[in-house]
Structure 1
Amino acid sequence: MQSGKARTDEWVLEFEQSEARRADPLMGWTGSGDTQSQVQLTFPSKEAAKEYAERYGIVARVHATPPKTLKLQAYADNFR
């Protein structure tokens, strides 16, 4: 299988959780009352994301994307 490269050049702004997640006693699912942690905003460039954060007073940290390494492998390698 091959992974596509669609939307790999976008920058994402995610909000940190303001309260801890807790387990629901009935179903066992985890959740919280913090709706901001569900929001993801995408931007075409890093500068646009930083500008948005500054405009609305959001403290932002930039995490660099780790370099991608290719693992070249032939189908025949599965049978060695």
Structure 2
Amino acid sequence: MLARIFRPSKTAMQSGKQKTYDWVLEFEPSAARRPDPLMGWTQTSDTASSQVRLTFDTKEDAVRYAEAHGIAFQLIDPKPAKKIIKAYADNFAFGRKIPWTH
């Protein structure tokens, strides 16, 4: 069973970065999800991929846990965030591409 070790990205719904500093060990699904004939919800017989999600403080802790328990894992390092430096004065700059209007 293969697991992924990664740092989750921030949600699109909020501007904060809560829950993005911990490392997560999550199992890959071993079987495809299929719709339930009665309700139409998706279901799977694999509980490890849908219900098990372990969090760790550091990447080394997550790797150490996976190696100690014999779990094959894929390590996904996060991409560095782009910093967009803006100043309020840029709204009124002479060389602005789109002219400022009311």
Match of 1:13 in 2: 25
Residues 21-79 of structure 1 show CA distances to partners (whole Å, capped at 9, x for unaligned) of 111111111110110012110000000000000000000111121222356788x9xx9
The higher radius of gyration belongs to: 2
SS of equivalent to 1:27:
coil
Q: Whole-Å Cα distance in 1 between the matches of residues 69 and 75 of structure 2? A: 16
Report 1 or 2 for greater relative contact order, CA contacts < 8 Å, sequence distance ≥ 6: 2
TM-score (norm 1): 0.78
Match of 2:56 in 1: 43
Letter in 2 for 1:25: P
Task: Tell me the percent identity.
Answer: 52
Mapping for residues 1-80 of structure 1, pairs under 5 Å? 3-37=15-49, 38-70=51-83
Q: Whole-Å Cα distance in 1 between the matches of residues 55 and 14 of structure 2? A: 24
Q: Whole-Å Cα distance in 1 between the matches of residues 18 and 37 of structure 2? A: 40
Cα RMSD, aligned residues only: 2.7
Aligned residues: 77
Worse overlay, 5-14 or 54-63: 5-14
User: Where has structure 1 moved over 4 Å in runs of 4 or more?
Assistant: 70-74
Higher strand share: 2
